[in-house]
C-alpha cells in the first residue's frame, strides 16, 4: 500500500504538469498563428521567439510529463493489487477511454507543433482557441470519474460533459464577438 501511494502521488504530479503543458502549448499555437499575420520584421521576431518557447515547453515539460504520468499509471494499474482491482471496474474503463482521447489530443498537438515549427500555418487562431478547450473537457471528465467512481451516474455524466462542451462553445463565440468588437 505504501508504494501505491508514492506511485499515485508521482502520477498526479506528472498529470498536472502534462495538462499544464497541453494548455500552454495551444496558447502558444494561437500566438504563432497570429504572428504569421504581422508585418515584417515583427512577424519574424515573434515567430522565432514563439518557436523557441514552444520547443522548450513541448520537449522539456509536456512530453516528459506525458511519459512519466503514463509510466506511473501503468505501474499502478498492472503491478499493484489496487490497480488490478480497479481494472475490473467499469468507471476505470470509461476513464481509460478518456485517457486514450488525451493521447490522441496530445498526438494532434504534436502534429500542429511540428507544422508551426516549419512555418506551416494550417489552422486559424479561432480554431486554436477552440482546440485549447479539448484538454479542458477531457480533464473534467477524468477528474469526475476518478472522484465519483461507481457513484457516478453515467447518463448524467455524459449529459454533463455535453452541456459543459456547449457552454465552452458559447463562451468561445461570446469572447470572439467581444474581441472583434474591440478591434
The candidate with the shortest Cα–Cα distance to 101, out of 57, 64, 145, is 145
Q: Where are the domains of the chain?
A: 2-181
95 is in an annotated binding site: yes
The model carries a pTM of: 0.86
Q: Going residue by residue through the chain (183 aa), what tens digit of pLDDT does each one get? A: 789 899 999 999 999 999 999 999 999 999 999 999 999 999 999 999 999 999 999 999 999 999 999 999 999 988 888 877 888 888 888 889 999 999 999 999 999 999 999 999 999 988 998 899 899 989 988 888 888 776 556 667 767 777 888 888 888 788 878 877 887
Judge whether 25 and 57 are in contact, CB under 8 Å: yes
In 3D space, the residue among 21, 26, 18, 109 whose CA is nearest the CA of residue 67 turns out to be 18
- Annotated ligand binding at 183? The verdict is no
123 within 8 A of 112, measured Cβ to Cβ: yes
Amino acid at each position: 500500500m505504501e508504494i501505491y501511494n508514492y506511485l499515485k502521488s508521482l502520477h498526479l504530479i506528472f498529470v498536472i504538469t502534462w495538462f499544464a503543458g497541453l494548455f500552454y502549448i495551444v496558447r502558444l499555437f494561437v500566438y504563432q498563428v497570429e504572428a504569421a499575420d504581422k508585418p515584417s520584421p515583427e512577424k519574424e521576431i515573434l515567430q522565432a521567439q514563439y518557436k523557441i518557447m514552444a520547443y522548450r515547453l513541448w520537449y522539456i515539460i509536456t512530453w516528459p510529463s506525458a511519459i512519466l504520468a503514463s509510466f506511473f499509471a501503468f505501474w499502478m494499474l498492472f503491478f499493484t493489487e489496487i490497480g488490478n482491482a480497479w481494472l475490473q471496474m467499469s468507471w476505470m474503463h470509461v476513464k481509460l477511454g478518456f485517457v486514450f482521447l488525451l493521447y490522441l489530443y496530445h498526438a494532434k498537438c504534436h502534429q500542429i507543433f511540428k507544422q508551426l515549427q516549419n512555418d506551416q500555418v494550417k489552422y486559424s487562431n479561432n480554431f486554436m482557441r477552440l482546440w485549447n478547450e479539448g484538454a479542458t473537457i477531457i480533464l473534467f471528465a477524468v477528474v469526475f470519474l476518478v472522484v465519483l467512481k461507481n457513484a457516478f451516474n453515467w447518463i448524467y455524466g455524459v449529459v454533463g460533459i455535453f452541456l459543459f462542451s456547449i457552454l465552452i462553445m458559447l463562451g468561445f463565440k461570446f469572447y470572439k464577438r467581444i474581441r472583434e468588437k474591440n478591434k
